[in-house]
């Protein structure tokens, strides 16, 4: 992906809407967050807040720590043996607090991965309902309603409503990824983390997901890691630039892409490195 | 080569492009022979068994399979107790070994600390290297006394309402053979399931954990189902071993031609009767009957494995589970 095309205005469509009001309700905030793999700090002293009902993009070259940072927000970083120092507040709760249940946290902060990860032994319906089985038992009609709503929100309902019992792996890559989004939003999280969700999709599948984000931010707070700067420019309200594990700059997307204050940000978005 | 000169200097028409890869031809021929040798060997084996058991087949026909009397002196041969014994001992072995080995495999791939994984797997795989006669001796001197004095009485007291756990306790029994078989097939089932579970992509685990699953839920809802056809394959491998195992079973099962409801009673298996009687068979018809047993064992093994293949095929094909309810 050539970043130079950013400099030719017609190919880039920045959101037409005005930048979001600056004093929205902040939902999730990392304070002085450092994330380690063993003794290596992949993310260093990041302090940043994310407002509710916005799309927040995290950009930066490979290995800059943006994905690691994302994974600290629902403690998936720990799954691969990492640990953190610093704090992450979700509302008023410290997600690294002593009595936090990882199950409850991850149901509040859902995650969609780079490659679509439907459960191959489950049907489409079972996949969407997979996250519901944990916790309170719902009745069948309730689950039906939740599955339909999640698939509607993920823009997949019309394509799969007649074959909910079929295997999820029969879907195309783009559909599988929207299925994973449906599965993530079914338990009604507050925040959705997307880790390069379109990296393995074709342009059409990518476009469907990008359109989806506009609708989803009405109900959810979205944080998306992308290595595609046009995508960040198209879908996000705020953009944060990571480089070598540190957060270089964060701000309204329009400002980051038109008037970055840091030299390294400008160099990156104009394609001079990375 | 100097610049500007054509690379090919031979005259037009010289056979520079022709040639034969002789090595390839030889290699291919050798491999083809090796590949054909396997089914040929199988065919030869079946034919040999068939010829060896002709006498018994002509004399007893299918009554051999359904008959229950085994009397070499009266030249009366019925193999049903042997067939039942083989299937029962293998079934007992699987009932014990499958949950155990699957549990160990899941623990080692999903839960155990990293430093523990290799040593435990190594020790379990080492069990596969012990000769079966050693298992038999260990069974006679260690396992049977323990079973007879402690385990069997306990089972009779607690599960005695089931016909399986009633009757006198001898020690040598179907259950003792099943337990030794379970120990013998465990390494196979465990190490194959472990390989299969390790091959499940990390993304499946992460997807489940990301939905708020506990590690246990992630293992059970995402990892194990993903690996299930491989796990069935592991079980079949164990089953094949349990059906054919001879020495340790012969030493522990009690060698009695009888179909008993109780697992405490002695029994017999097809493999065991061949091992016991072949060297001392006195008459041609006795030899033929033993060959017929071998042929039956072969057929039983083929049928059981065939059914198991169908099971794998259905498991891996019906991924979404059709009408299976959520």
Tens of pLDDT along A36-94?
998 999 999 999 999 999 999 999 998 899 999 999 999 999 888 889 999 999 988 89
Residue B190 token pair: 């465990």
Helix (H, G, I), strand (E, B) or coil at B76: strand
- Separation of alpha carbons B52 and A89, rounded Å: 80
Q: Give residues with Cβ within 8 angstroms of B163, minimum separation 6.
A: B261, B262
Which domain does B96 fall in, by range? Answer: 60-316
Q: What is the DSSP-derived secondary structure letter of residue A192?
A: E
pLDDT tens profile B119-171: 998 998 898 899 999 999 999 999 999 999 999 999 999 998 998 898 888 88
Strand boundaries in B15-81, DSSP class E: 70-71, 76-77
Is residue B289 one of the residues assigned to a domain? yes
Which domains, ranges and CATH numbers included, belong to chain A? 3-7+24-117+189-269 (3.40.50.300)
Beta-bridge partners for A56: A223, A238
CB burial readout B203-218, b (16+ within 10 A) else e: ebbbbbbbbbbeeebb
A12 phi-psi bin (left φ>0, alpha ψ -120 to 50, beta other): beta
CB burial readout A104-128, b (16+ within 10 A) else e: ebbbbbbbbbbbbbbbbbbbbbbbb
- Quickly list H helices, chain A: 66-72, 102-108, 124-129, 140-153, 157-160, 173-185, 203-216, 229-235, 253-258, 263-269
Confidence of residue A6 (pLDDT cuts 50, 70, 90): very low
Q: How many helices, marked H, and strands, marked E, lie in chain A?
A: 10, 10
- Does ipTM surpass 0.95 in this model? no
Closest C-alpha to A117, from B225, B321, B208: B208
Interchain CB distance below 8 Å, B211 and A180: no
Mutate to test the interface with A, among B205, B226, B312, B320 (most CBs of A within 10 A): B320
Chain A touched by B74 (CB under 8 Å): no
The minimal CB distance from B210 to the residues A106, A124, A143 is found for A106
Q: Give residues with Cβ within 8 angstroms of B66, minimum separation 6.
A: B78, B80
Residues 184-243 of B with CB under 8 A from A: 203-214, 217, 221-222, 225-226, 228
| Residue A16 pLDDT exceeds 50 | no
Is residue B54 one of the residues assigned to a domain? no
Is residue B132 one of the residues assigned to a domain? yes
Answer whether A5's CB lies under 8 Å from A11's CB: yes
If one counts the domains in chain B, the total is 1
pLDDT tens profile B216-243: 989 998 999 999 888 998 998 899 999 9
- Separation of alpha carbons A205 and A172, rounded Å: 9
Interchain CB distance below 8 Å, A117 and B326: no
Positive or negative: CA dihedral B24, B25, B30, B36: positive
Confidence of residue A11 (pLDDT cuts 50, 70, 90): very low
Lowest mean pLDDT among A85-89, A98-102, B319-323: B319-323
Provide the CATH number for the domain around residue B83: 1.10.3720.10
Interchain CB distance below 8 Å, A103 and B226: no
Q: DSSP secondary structure string, B253-270?
A: SB------S-TTS-B--H
Q: Give residues with Cβ within 8 angstroms of A94, minimum separation 6.
A: A87, A88, A100
pLDDT tens profile A218-260: 999 999 999 888 999 999 999 999 999 999 999 999 999 999 9
Mean pLDDT across the stretch B52-64? 91
Check: pTM over 0.90? Answer yes or no.
no
The minimal CB distance from A183 to the residues B211, B225, B319 is found for B211
- Separation of alpha carbons A87 and A85, rounded Å: 7
Confidence of residue A271 (pLDDT cuts 50, 70, 90): confident
Interchain CB distance below 8 Å, B208 and A166: no
pLDDT tens profile B64-107: 999 999 988 888 899 999 999 999 999 999 999 999 999 999 99
């Amino acid at each position: 992906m050539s970043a130079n095309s950013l400099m030719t205005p017609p190919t880039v469509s920045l959101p037409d809407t005005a930048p979001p009001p600056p004093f929205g309700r902040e939902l999730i905030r990392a304070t002085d967050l450092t994330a380690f793999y063993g003794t290596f700090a992949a993310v260093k002293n990041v302090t940043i807040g994310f407002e509710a009902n916005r799309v927040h993009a995290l950009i930066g070259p490979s290995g800059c720590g943006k994905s690691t940072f994302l994974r600290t927000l629902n403690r998936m970083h720990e799954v691969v043996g990492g640990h953190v120092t610093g704090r992450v507040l979700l509302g008023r709760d410290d997600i690294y607090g002593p009595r936090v249940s990882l199950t409850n946290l991850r149901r509040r902060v859902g995650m969609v991965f780079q490659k679509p990860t439907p459960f191959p032994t489950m049907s489409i319906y079972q996949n969407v309902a997979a996250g519901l089985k944990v916790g309170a038992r719902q009745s069948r009609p309730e689950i039906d309603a939740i599955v339909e709503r999640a698939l509607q929100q993920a823009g997949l309902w019309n394509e799969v409503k007649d074959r909910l019992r079929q295997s999820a792996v029969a879907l195309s890559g783009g559909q599988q990824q929207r299925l994973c989004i449906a599965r993530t939003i079914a338990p009604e999280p507050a925040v959705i983390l997307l880790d390069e969700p379109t990296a393995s999709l074709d342009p059409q599948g990518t476009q469907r997901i990008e359109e989806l984000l506009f609708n989803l931010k009405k109900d959810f707070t979205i944080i998306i890691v992308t290595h595609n700067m046009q995508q960040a420019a198209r879908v996000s309200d705020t953009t944060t630039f990571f480089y070598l594990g540190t957060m270089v700059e964060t701000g309204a997307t329009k400002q980051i892409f038109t008037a970055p204050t840091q030299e390294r940000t400008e160099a990156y978005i104009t394609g001079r490195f990375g | 080569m100097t610049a500007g000169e054509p690379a090919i200097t031979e005259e037009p028409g010289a056979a520079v492009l022709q040639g034969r890869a002789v090595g390839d031809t030889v290699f291919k021929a050798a491999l083809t022979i090796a590949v054909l040798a396997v089914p040929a060997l199988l065919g030869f084996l079946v034919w040999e068994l068939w010829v060896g058991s002709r006498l018994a087949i002509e004399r007893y026909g299918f009554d051999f399979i359904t008959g229950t009397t085994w009397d070499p002196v009266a030249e009366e041969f019925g193999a049903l107790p042997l067939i039942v014994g083989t299937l029962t001992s293998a079934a007992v072995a699987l009932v014990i070994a499958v949950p155990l080995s699957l549990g160990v495999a899941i623990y080692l791939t999903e839960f155990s600390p990293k430093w523990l994984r290799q040593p435990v797997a190594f020790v379990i795989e080492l069990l596969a290297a012990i000769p079966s006669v050693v298992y038999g001796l260990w069974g006679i001197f260690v396992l049977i006394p323990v079973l007879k004095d402690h385990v069997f009485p306990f089972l009779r007291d607690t599960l005695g309402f089931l016909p399986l756990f009633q009757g006198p306790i001898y020690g040598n029994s179907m259950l003792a053979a099943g337990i030794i078989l379970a120990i013998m097939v465990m390494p196979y089932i465990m190490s194959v399931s472990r390989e299969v579970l390790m091959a499940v992509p990390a993304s499946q685990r992460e997807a489940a954990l990301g939905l708020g699953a506990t590690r246990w839920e992630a293992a059970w809802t995402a990892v194990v189902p993903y690996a299930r056809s491989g796990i069935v394959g592991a079980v079949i491998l164990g089953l094949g071993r349990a059906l054919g195992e001879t020495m340790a079973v012969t030493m522990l099962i009690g060698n009695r031609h009888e179909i008993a409801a109780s697992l405490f009673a002695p029994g017999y298996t097809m493999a065991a009767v061949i091992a016991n009687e072949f060297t001392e068979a006195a008459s041609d018809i006795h030899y033929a009957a033993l060959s017929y047993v071998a042929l039956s064992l072969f057929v039983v093994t083929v049928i059981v494995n065939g059914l198991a293949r169908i099971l794998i095929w259905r498991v891996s094909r019906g991924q979404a589970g059709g009408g299976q309810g959520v």
